[in-house]
Amino acid sequence: MTTPEPYVGPTAAPVVQHHILSVLVENKAGVLARIAGLFARRGFNIYSLAVAPAEGHARFSRITIVVDADSAPLEQIVGQLNKLVNVVAITDLAPKFAIERELLLATIRTEVDEQTNLMEIIAAANAAIVDVDAHAVTVMLAATPEACDALERTLEGFAEVELHRTGRVALPRLGKVTS
Amino acid sequence: MKLTGAQALIKSLEESGVDTIFGLPGGAILPVYDPLLDSSIRHILVRHEQGAGHMAEGYAMATGRPGVALVTSGPGATNIVTPIANAHMDSTPLVVITGQVPTSAIGTDAFQECDITGITMGITKHNFLVQSASELPRAIAAAFHIATTGRPGPVLVDVPKDVSQSMMDWWWPSSISELDLPGYQPTVDINQADIDAAVALIEAAERPVLYVGGGTLKSRASQQLIAFAERSNIPVVTTLMARGAFPDSHPQHLGMPGMHGFYTAVMAMQRSDLLISLGARFDDRVTGKVDGFAPEAKIIHVDIDRAEFNKVRRVDVSIQANVKDALIALDASTSPVKNLDAWWKTLRSWQADYPLTYDPPTSDGPLRPQLVIESIARASAPGTIVTSGVGQHQMWAAQHWQYEEPGTWINSGGAGTMGFGVPAAIGAKVGRPDRTVWTIDGDGCFQMTAQELVTARAERIPIKVAILNNAYLGMVRQWQEMFYDERYSEVYLSPDLPDYVKWAEAMGCVGLRATNPQEMKDVIEEANSINDVPVVIDFRTDSSEKVFPMVPSGATNDEIMVHPSQRGKRS
Ligand SMILES: Cc1ncc(C[n+]2csc(CCOP(=O)(O)OP(=O)(O)O)c2C)c(N)n1
Ligand SMILES: [Mg+2]
């Protein structure tokens, strides 16, 4: 795998309320507990957290953490996180320099006669139907967190909805510096 | 070479340069105690695992080498949690090895199972659960590497019983890269731009102060500190964790800052226009109310741990480096400094008006605790090591003993762990057998860990314990007197229960008692003449004595309360 980018310093942009930390960790037992414990212990808030094997490499995982940069200075969060021995590299992505995506899955229970309305919503949101029967439809949306928010709000109009979101993952925008 | 995991563990400790282990065996760690019999490593059998942890800390703080403790699973492991937390707060290098139930039993609530890596995650620098015997050498080598490099701290290695019983092919990592720690980079190159920025601030400052913290001792930077301070003529304060880093007798030393700091040290920081923090961390016991702390001061913050920057106080220049390297770089870059005569004139007038003081002693007792400490200090050889518990006696020991060299003051600063004094003294004496080791202890603290004097006697570790017996949890009593309208709630202990002299004798120590200044002189002399067994002295001190100066909790340092005899001297 390629050498992970070293952390190069906090972003100057003070207006954003969330920040995305892409954290490369050793794939060891308890590493998620170490990170979660650190955030809890130090009073840092997490909006979302996603874990996956890193770049096809069994030794490392990539944890994408969306942090509340108001709950503590980003410099503190990164500095404390960096002290965890299993944390290999931290990339701090300011939202404007990041491509962020999130996956939403929702099952909407609705009889066939109401489904036309639903189909319009699905089409407008660029979502896909991934499962269907006479009483329900399951849709999927892989999009920006804002687009997922919008679909979630629209679906609130239906009586019975079961909805899951993964939390976002992110990568730096191409051709831009990542703070 | 085929070895059992247990043999490999002991051999790994030998390879790491360990000469002493503090510990106590039990089921899950039993296999490891067998090859210990064939090792050159000295094992000191404690009476409680908390004692093992604090001894390892005392050893580490006196020698600068990591302290090692070995305990069993479950209650053995939980008993050492307090020293681990203590070492974490004070950045003391420790390697703690715990037994664990066999890997197949983990997660089944087996006998004496406990998730000690989970429990200690937040209070260790790192911890390992070793999964196989062949991993043991790397885990032990990595534990020592992590504990002693960068910002030091405690590392715990949890060893399941089947891991120590199974066979492995002996190997030993020959380089740091073989430790396989891709996320651990303790060394940093100093950024010259930071040094230049710091130098510019130093050269412009009119009221600079060198704010010296424990990191100065950790990086063995005393010589460089003295050199830099003398060349720059900047006044020095040493925090509770840094006493001894700069000689108390040095004319540029203003003493200890903080809640019970010297008036001049506290006010120098408060009125300063530049604080040069050297391995200190702006602890609330030093800053008082942070909003009102040193309001005019710019901050240069030197620390090996980047996360300390801007944690409590915004810094103007941060230098990530160990203190020694930073001082060398600063000394090389700073041009002849500005004349600080006006600043020194102010400082000298504060020193003249508000020296450390206490009520005059009476000839018929009870004893003034400050006098007891000064008398022991006068009667003891230079280089004597002092440990303490936590409370009033600790503050008096930090104030009234003159510390002249690193490693002579050993206490529990960040955690404030009562009971630290006696076991820490034992560990210090084991590490520095050439030195006299005194504990200045409280009666409350003594009762928490005194059983380790049995260890000291059995292992021929002749420490000296001065109990400042004020019959109270004195520090709590002081707060209740001053801030809770003298409503004393659960702080009285009794001077006679237990009988400390008989207790000392029952533990094989010499027990002595002093109730007035003449007896005090006699027993100190007697104690200093005994070098084969531990000595315990019950000094009957005045219960109503309070520690001054004092910055009340939550107040700014401007609200410092001096000794009653000094009040109203000046506004
Ligand atoms: C383990 C622990 N429990 C409680 C406290 C709170 N505490 C701080 S000082 C103190 C009193 C200590 O009494 P003693 O050892 O007699 O010392 P003195 O203050 O009387 O000199 C107490 C209870 C503590 N620091 N540590
Ligand atoms: Mg007491």
- Distance (Å, rounded) from C-alpha B68 to C-alpha B452? 17
Burial B103-139 (b: 16+ CB within 10 A, else e): bebeeeebebbbebbebbbebbbbbbbbeebbbbbbb
- pLDDT score recorded for residue A10: 40
B248-280: string of b/e by CB count within 10 Å (b at 16+)?
A: beeebbbbbbbbbbbbbbbbbbbbbbbbbbbbb
**Alpha-carbon distance B47 to B267, whole Å?**
45
Q: Tell me the ipTM for this assembly.
A: 0.92
- Average pLDDT (B289-302) is 98
pLDDT band at A29 (very low <50, low <70, confident <90, very high): confident
pLDDT of the residue at A9 = 41
What's domain A99-170's architecture?
A: 2-Layer Sandwich (3.30)
Write the DSSP string, A32-87. Answer: HHHHHHHHHHHT--EEEEEEEEETTEEEEEEEEEEEETTTS-HHHHHHHHHTSTTE
With CB atoms and an 8 Å threshold, state whether A82 touches B307. Answer: yes
Choose the weakest-confidence range: A150-159, B43-52, B401-410, B477-486.
A150-159
d(CA B89, CA B96): 16
Look at residues A151, A99, A101, A143 and name the one whose alpha carbon lies nearest to residue A124.
Answer: A151
Query: Which is catalytic among the residues B11, B50, B61, B161?
Result: B161
- Spacing of C-alpha A77 from chain mean position: 18
What are B317-366's pLDDT values in tens digits?
999 999 999 999 999 988 767 799 999 999 999 999 999 999 998 888 79
Q: For residue B315, is pLDDT > 90?
A: yes
Tokens matching residue B315: 């810094």
CB-nearest to A29 from B129, B181, B306 is: B129
Fold agreement between A18-97 and A99-170: yes
Q: In the numeric block, which tokens belong to residue B69?
A: 């403790």
- Name the phi and psi angles at B504, rounded to 5: -60, -45
pLDDT at residue A75 in the model: 92
Percent of chain B residues topping a pLDDT of 70: 99
A87 and chain B: CB distance < 8 Å anywhere?
Answer: yes
| Amino acid in the structure at residue A13 | A
Give the number of whichever ligand sits closest to the CA of residue B392: 1
Q: Please write the tens of the pLDDT for every residue from B133-192.
A: 999 999 999 999 999 999 999 999 999 999 999 999 999 999 999 999 999 999 889 999
pLDDT band at B570 (very low <50, low <70, confident <90, very high): low
- Give the three-state DSSP class for B367: strand
- CATH homologous superfamily, domain A18-97: ACT domain (3.30.70.260)
Question: Distance (Å, rounded) from C-alpha B406 to C-alpha B564?
Answer: 33
Res. B503: pLDDT tops 50: yes
pLDDT reading at A6 higher than 60: no
Annotated domain spans of chain A: 18-97, 99-170
Residue with tokens 């009125």: B271
Check whether A175 has a pLDDT greater than 80: no
Beta-strand relationship, A98-109 and A136-143: antiparallel
The domain limits of chain B are: 2-179, 192-353, 369-540
Tell me which ligand sits closest to the C-alpha of residue B373.
1
- pLDDT for residue A72: 82
CA-to-CA distance for B219 and A22, rounded, in angstroms?
A: 33
The residue among B123, B126, B315 with the most chain A CBs within 10 A of its CB, best to mutate, is: B126
In this predicted structure, the answer to whether residue B1 has a pLDDT above a threshold of 90 is yes
Lowest mean pLDDT among A157-171, B52-66, B126-140, B281-295: A157-171
To the nearest whole percent, how much of chain B has pLDDT over 90?
97
Using a CB-CB cut-off of 8 Å, the residues of chain A touching B184 are 85
Residue in the block written with tokens 């004020």: B470
Rounded to the nearest angstrom, the gap between the alpha carbon of residue A151 and the centroid of all alpha carbons in its chain is 16
**CB distance B281 to B213 below 8 Å:** yes
Give the integer Cα–Cα distance in Å for B211 and B423.
30
pLDDT bracket for residue A177 (50, 70, 90): low
d(CA B307, CA B281): 10
Q: Specify the CATH number of the domain B369-540.
A: 3.40.50.970
C-alpha neighbours within 13 Å on the C-beta side of residue B328: 9
- Of residues A169 and B407, the one with the higher pLDDT is B407
**Which of the four pLDDT bands, split at 50, 70 and 90, describes residue A159?**
confident
> In a 10 Å sphere around its CB, with 0-12 CB exposed, 13-18 middle and 19+ buried, how is residue B203 labelled?
middle
Residue A176: predicted pLDDT: 53
The CB density around residue B307, as the number of other CB atoms within 10 Å, is 19
| Cβ burial, residue A121 (10 Å; 0-12/13-18/19+) | middle
**Between the CA of residue B89 and those of B77, B153, B237, B393, B406, what are the distances in Å?**
19, 8, 21, 21, 19
What distance in Å separates residue A55's CA from the closest CA in chain B? 16
Mean pLDDT on B439-453: 98
Is B226's pLDDT higher than 80?
A: yes
pLDDT value at A7 more than 50:
no
Percentages (nearest 5) of helix, strand, coil residues in chain B: 40, 15, 40
φ, ψ at B455 (rounded to 5°): -55, -45
Tell me: pLDDT of B26 over 70: yes
The values of phi and psi at residue B234, to 5°, are: -85, 135
Q: Is the pLDDT of residue B122 over 80?
A: yes
Tokens of residue B434, six digits = 């050439």
A146 phi, psi to nearest 5 deg? -65, -40
pLDDT above 70 (res A4):
no
- Tell me the C-alpha distance between B296 and A175, whole Å: 44
| pLDDT (average), residues B420-437 | 98
In CATH, what is the architecture of B2-179? 3-Layer(aba) Sandwich (3.40)
B227 to chain A, minimum CA–CA distance in Å? 32
Work out the burial of residue A137: count CB atoms within 10 Å of its CB; fewer than 13 is exposed, 13-18 middle, 19 or more buried. Answer: buried
Strands, E assignment, B195-270: 208-212, 236-238, 253-255
pLDDT for res B59: 98
State yes or no: pLDDT of A5 exceeds 70.
no
Query: Is B161 in the active site?
Result: yes
Beta sheet of B42-45, edge-to-edge order: B42-45, B20-24, B67-71, B94-100, B154-160, B126-129
Q: Which of A9-23, A115-129, B444-458 has the highest mean pLDDT?
A: B444-458
Assign B412 to helix, strand or coil. coil
Tell me what the mean pLDDT of segment B452-472 comes to. 98
Q: Is the pLDDT of residue A16 over 80?
A: no
* pLDDT computed for residue A142 by the predictor: 97
pLDDT: which is higher, A68 or B482: B482
Binding-site residues on chain B for chain A (CB distance < 8 A): 117-118, 121-122, 125-126, 129, 146, 181-184, 305-307, 309-311
Report CB contact under 8 Å: B310, A73. Answer: yes
| Beta-carbon separation of B118 and A87 below 8 A | no
Is pLDDT of A15 > 60?
no
Residue B144 has phi, psi (to 5 degrees) of: -70, -40
Q: List Cα–Cα distances, B269 to B204, B299, B547, in angstroms.
A: 17, 11, 20
Best mutation site among B367, B394, B395, B475 for ligand 1 pocket (most ligand atoms within 8 Å of CB): B475
By DSSP bridging, strand A57-68 and strand A46-54 are: antiparallel
pLDDT at B60 over 70: yes
Interatomic CA distance for residues B469 and B51, integer angstroms: 22
The fold adopted by the segment(s) B192-353 is: Rossmann fold (3.40.50)
